[in-house]
């Protein structure tokens, strides 16, 4: 029987801390590419996130625990990657919007 190869992605590129500028919650994140991000929430971060609390309190959905994410944190992760604070594993260059560059 062939043994499966162990997953060493986190050994080669560990999760890195990112703070939300809105509420200060700290998560760990890893960007495999500009389009793919993994975020690990801790219990303190979940309790501190204002967006999550608001989504749960105001939700009339059957599954109130489902949380689509925090826009401020999403932007903080992207900004950390653009600044080189959060590594992007693929090594591909930052994608740009040509229409936006033509009309600054």
Q: Mind listing the pLDDT tens digit for each residue in 31-49?
A: 999 999 999 999 999 899 9
Structure tokens at 67: 């949380």
What percentage of the chain exceeds 70 in pLDDT?
75
Q: What's the count of helices (H) and strands (E) in the chain, helices before strands?
A: 5, 3
Q: Residue 81 burial by CB count (10 A; 0-12/13-18/19+): exposed, middle or buried? A: buried
Say what percent of the chain tops pLDDT 90.
45
The encoded tokens of residue 17 equal 């801390």
Q: For residue 25, count other CB atoms closer than 10 A to its CB.
A: 23
């Amino acid at each position: 029987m062939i043994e499966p190869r162990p997953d060493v992605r986190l050994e080669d590129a560990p999760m890195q801390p990112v703070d939300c500028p809105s509420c200060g919650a700290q998560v760990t994140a890893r960007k495999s590419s500009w389009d793919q991000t993994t975020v690990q929430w801790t219990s303190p971060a979940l309790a501190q996130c204002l967006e999550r609390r608001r989504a749960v309190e105001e939700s009339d959905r059957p599954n109130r625990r489902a949380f689509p994410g925090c826009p401020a944190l999403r932007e903080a992760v992207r900004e950390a990657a653009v600044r080189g604070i959060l590594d992007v594993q693929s090594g591909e260059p930052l994608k740009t919007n040509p229409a936006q560059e033509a009309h600054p």
